[in-house]
Amino acid sequence: MPVFCCLFLDFSHLLPALDGDAKTMNFLQEVVDIMLAYIVESFDRSTKVIDFHYPNELLQRNNWELSDEPETLDDILISCRATLKYAIKTAHPRYFNQLSTGLDMVGLAADWLTSTANTNMFTYEVAPVFVLLEYVTLKKMREIIGWQEGRGDGIFSPGGAISNMYAMLLARYKMFPEVKEKGMSSAPRLVAFTSEHSHFSIKKGAAALGIGTESVICIKADERGKMIPSDLERRIIEAKQKGYVPFFVSATAGTTVYGAFDPLMAIADICKKHDIWMHVDGAWGGSLLMSRKHRWKLNGVERANSMTWNPHKMMAVPLQCSALLVREEVRLSASCNQMQACYLFQQDKQYDLSYDTGDKALQCGRHVDIFKLWLMWRAKVLRALCLVCVLRERTLMLSAGHVSLQPQHTNVCFWYLPPGVRYLEDKVEKMKRLHKVAPVIKARMMEYGTTMVSYQPQGDKVNFFRMVISNPAATFEDIDFLIEEIERLGQDL
């Protein structure tokens, strides 16, 4: 029998304790009841999106410390309630703050089940079902991209930034495989290209991989945030003239702020001409491939060498779920990262070793992110969801106080001009004051807890709101509510 040293603790009465079944069921059921109440509340518009407190205040509102005294299971339930009380309700119909919003019930059930199965993706041996589901799902995703018979490879990674980094690693490995053993000093100076509106993870990846952020050349985007192909080609030629080696172009399908789609077909032509790995960062916009009506925005993606696609964004799969899809054969991505650790990837196993996919990963242990996507897909939550979201596009009515950029996706970017700013004639002063409007309104919004939306500057544009619709619970009325709330909170500015 297990001899637990803390004899009087409640947790020791739970499984695997003898006769722990009933106590365990009761305890877990209590937790489930807390969660079910929270879920119902999250969708209730009469509740707050957030019960916001500044960090020092929140630290004092509850005992969050790790003391030496053990807690009883009752205390544990109190901690669960407190944690949810101060959490953001990301499922709330008026939560528009991030690209990932909403809470899908099938996805949630699948994530609970994943936790219960508590295993690791490294080998078929320890995750037989999940490995097969990755295989089935990645193949389906590649078919949807348009790669012949769904051939190629792929991996689920911990987020879009890591998926993009994988793509860069693969591109480098394909051109200079010796870098794996000999490091970057064995290669000439490599340069990558991406638009000035692309996600920061391209630079972050280049920094980590020893390529350096200065070797990521930012290509100009047009007024709507789309990469300008002629500028791409100009900068590629320029780089070659300097003796650098262009190895990677990352086009974006759905930029973070504007929701812009780079012209993939033109970019594919340039990549082909100059023999450069073409990656499509579709972390945000990739899900439009599921929509018959909108997939044209990604025309040309079938010519890419790799694509990042995050079902945890527009497809509302619970966090996190990001896939890197690769057109090349399996051999490339396997050998790029593999180290063949003999304690894990034994070559004398009795089953087909191609299912031991873990050695392709940068990680050793890898969280099971597939089941929630697979189960939602089976329920056909996904296709419906994509359509719903896209239908809501361009629903933002522009009133006198709002000036909007032209939307291409479900991002709607706009300024709110409060009365005190609206009629200012000095343009410099006007922009200076407008820049301060969004942060103040956002802070007030959080204090009231009524809704949440993001803001940022972009290039020479001062702070503007970025409304994103990816929450399947949001309705037209919720969008109206956001606009009215911004006006209410900003009218004195």
Residues 311 to 350: which contact its own copies by CB under 8 A? 312, 318-320, 322, 337, 339, 341-344, 346, 348-350
Interface stretch with its own copies, choices 106-114, 233-241, 245-253, 482-490 (CB under 8 A): 106-114
Residue 78 Cα to chain centre, angstroms: 31
Residues in the chain, overall count: 493
Q: Within 10 A of 149 (CB to CB), how many other CB atoms are there?
A: 8
ω before 320 within 30° of 0 (cis)? yes
Cα–Cα distance, 362 to 488 (Å, whole number): 49
From 237, 273, 329, 384, residue interacting with its own copies (rule: CB under 8 A)? 384
**91 lines the binding site for its own copies (CB under 8 A):** yes
Instruction: Name the H helices within 289-426.
Output: 330-337, 370-379, 381-391, 419-422
Which residue's CB is nearer to its own copies, number 136 or number 228?
A: 136
Cα–Cα distance, 443 to 97 (Å, whole number): 13
Which residue's CB is nearer to its own copies, number 30 or number 487?
A: 30
Interface stretch with its own copies, choices 118-126, 221-229, 323-331, 423-431 (CB under 8 A): 118-126
Contact 349, 125 (CB under 8 A): yes
The distance of closest approach from Cβ of residue 86 to its own copies in the complex, given in angstroms and rounded to an integer, is 5
**Residue numbers 126-165 binding its own copies by CB under 8 A:** 126-133, 136-137, 140, 158-162, 165
Contacts of 186 (CB under 8 A, 6+ apart): 176, 178, 179
Contact 287, 317 (CB under 8 A): no
**48 lines the binding site for its own copies (CB under 8 A):** no
How many chain residues interact with its own copies (CB under 8 A)? 180
**105 lines the binding site for its own copies (CB under 8 A):** yes
Among 190, 189, 191, 270, which residue's Cα sits nearest to residue 227? 270
**The three-state (H, E, C) secondary structure of 80-120, written as one string:** HHHHHHCCCCCCCCCEECCCCCCCCHHHHHHHHHHHHHCCC
The distance of closest approach from Cβ of residue 104 to its own copies in the complex, given in angstroms and rounded to an integer, is 8
Contacts of 200 (CB under 8 A, 6+ apart): none
**Residue numbers 13-32 binding its own copies by CB under 8 A:** 14-16, 20-21, 24-25, 27-29, 31-32
Instruction: Report phi then psi at 358, rounded to 5.
Output: -60, -25
**76 lines the binding site for its own copies (CB under 8 A):** yes
From 248, 472, 489, 493, residue interacting with its own copies (rule: CB under 8 A)? 472
From 48, 84, 220, 245, residue interacting with its own copies (rule: CB under 8 A)? 84
> What single DSSP character describes residue 346?
-
The distance of closest approach from Cβ of residue 84 to its own copies in the complex, given in angstroms and rounded to an integer, is 7
The distance of closest approach from Cβ of residue 461 to its own copies in the complex, given in angstroms and rounded to an integer, is 11
Q: Within 10 A of 202 (CB to CB), how many other CB atoms are there?
A: 26
Identify each DSSP E strand in 130-286 by its residue range.
153-157, 190-195, 216-219, 245-252, 277-282
DSSP 3-state of 306 = strand
Which residue's CB is nearer to its own copies, number 180 or number 224?
A: 180
**491 lines the binding site for its own copies (CB under 8 A):** no
- Cα Rg of the chain, angstroms: 25
Interface stretch with its own copies, choices 107-115, 224-232, 272-280, 421-429 (CB under 8 A): 107-115
From 195, 256, 333, 410, residue interacting with its own copies (rule: CB under 8 A)? 256
Which residue's CB is nearer to its own copies, number 43 or number 266?
A: 43
From 355, 395, 424, 488, residue interacting with its own copies (rule: CB under 8 A)? 355
Which residue's CB is nearer to its own copies, number 203 or number 303?
A: 203
From 454, 470, 485, 486, residue interacting with its own copies (rule: CB under 8 A)? 454
**Adjacent-strand bridge partners of 278:** 249
Which residue's CB is nearer to its own copies, number 268 or number 315?
A: 315
Which residue's CB is nearer to its own copies, number 229 or number 418?
A: 418
Interface stretch with its own copies, choices 11-19, 224-232, 267-275, 485-493 (CB under 8 A): 11-19
**46 lines the binding site for its own copies (CB under 8 A):** no
Which residue's CB is nearer to its own copies, number 288 or number 368?
A: 368
The distance of closest approach from Cβ of residue 190 to its own copies in the complex, given in angstroms and rounded to an integer, is 8
**431 lines the binding site for its own copies (CB under 8 A):** no
**8 lines the binding site for its own copies (CB under 8 A):** no
Which residue's CB is nearer to its own copies, number 140 or number 273?
A: 140
**Residue 78 is inside which H or E element, if any?**
helix 73-85
Contact 303, 276 (CB under 8 A): no
**47 lines the binding site for its own copies (CB under 8 A):** no
Contact 350, 173 (CB under 8 A): no
> What single DSSP character describes residue 468?
E
Among 93, 65, 76, which residue's Cα sits nearest to residue 451? 93
**109 lines the binding site for its own copies (CB under 8 A):** yes
Measured on CA atoms in the order 147, 149, 155, 160, is the torsion positive or negative? Answer: positive
